[in-house]
């Protein structure tokens, strides 16, 4: 989550969609919360003052908070005035990226568990823990999108350039948290795990128009 009152935008960071690069590129415009560290330290002691500070500008939001967390506590006019955006990714690709990332980061809280998991087992784990769910991060409980623009990881640089122009900033994306993936994500899947993702992430797949292997559609179209 990154909010800028100076440039009037709100970025919702969905994990494994290029969000770390986006936050770094836009960090110069992030709202400085004078109570941020105090709030964080108190929360670690089991004391929360986050929603007792009065001014919504003092609220602390977590990196991957959903947009509803902001809508719930911001004045309606302020929420509407912000240009709200997020990026999404093909769910099958995203889950492979999450699997490889957790395996390569020893400090990750799920590293030990996932390192010893076969991919099909990880898919079951991800479904049970709601890992990789995207629509619910940027929509209300009825599935109505609350963002003004949804960029795609598959067109990260092009869509980010459009956003930068829209919010009147000059920024370039750095390359961070890249998970080197030499094997096509499709090859990680068995028929069962492919179908499990199709079912469990159906809302994301249908809303954002994803399919397991878009190259198959392109090949058929070219042949026709």
Work out the average pLDDT over 165-175: 94
Q: Where are the domains of the chain?
A: 2-223
74-101: pLDDT as tens digits: 999 999 999 999 999 999 999 999 999 9
As given in the structure block, the two tokens for residue 13 are 């960071």
127 backbone dihedrals φ, ψ, rounded to 5°: -65, -45
Burial class (CB in 10 A: 0-12, 13-18, 19+), 90: buried
pLDDT band at 39 (very low <50, low <70, confident <90, very high): low
As given in the structure block, the two tokens for residue 196 are 């499990």
Note the pLDDT of residue 60.
Answer: 82
- Mean pLDDT, the chain, rounded, equals 89
Judged against a pLDDT cut of 60, whether residue 218 lies above it is answered with no
pLDDT band at 56 (very low <50, low <70, confident <90, very high): confident
Judged against a pLDDT cut of 50, whether residue 110 lies above it is answered with yes
d(C-alpha 15, C-alpha 196), whole Å:
20
Number of Cα atoms under 13 Å in the Cβ half of residue 135: 18
Architecture of the domain delimited by 2-223: 3-Layer(aba) Sandwich (3.40)
Element (H, E) at 69: helix 67-73
Q: Which of 85, 84, 63, 90 is nearest to 153 (CA)?
A: 90
Helix boundaries (H) for 82-223: 91-104, 111-115, 119-128, 135-138, 156-166, 191-200, 202-208, 214-223
Q: What percent of the chain has pLDDT over 90?
A: 76
205 backbone dihedrals φ, ψ, rounded to 5°: -60, -45
59-73: pLDDT as tens digits: 888 999 999 999 999
d(C-alpha 3, C-alpha 14), whole Å:
14
Strand partners, 4: 9
């Amino acid at each position: 989550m990154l909010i800028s009152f100076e440039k009037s935008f709100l970025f919702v960071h969905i994990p494994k969609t290029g969000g770390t690069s986006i936050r770094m590129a836009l960090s110069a415009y992030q709202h400085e919360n004078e109570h941020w560290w105090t709030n964080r330290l108190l929360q670690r002691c089991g004391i929360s003052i986050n929603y007792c500070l009065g001014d919504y500008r003092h609220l602390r939001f977590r990196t991957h908070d959903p947009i509803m967390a902001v809508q719930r506590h911001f004045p309606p006019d302020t929420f509407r005035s912000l240009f709200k955006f997020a990026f999404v990714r093909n769910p099958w690709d995203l889950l492979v990226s999450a699997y490889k990332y957790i395996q390569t980061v020893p400090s990750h809280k799920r590293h030990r568990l996932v390192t010893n998991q076969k991919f099909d087992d990880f898919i079951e784990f991800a479904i049970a823990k709601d890992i990789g769910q995207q629509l619910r991060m940027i929509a209300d409980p009825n599935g109505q999108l609350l963002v003004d623009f949804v960029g795609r990881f598959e067109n990260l640089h092009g869509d980010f350039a459009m956003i930068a122009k829209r919010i009147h900033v000059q920024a370039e994306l750095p390359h961070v948290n890249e998970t080197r993936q030499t094997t096509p994500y499709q090859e990680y899947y068995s028929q069962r795990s492919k179908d499990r993702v199709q079912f469990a992430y159906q809302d994301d797949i249908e809303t954002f128009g994803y399919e397991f292997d878009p190259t198959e559609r392109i090949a058929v179209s070219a042949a026709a």
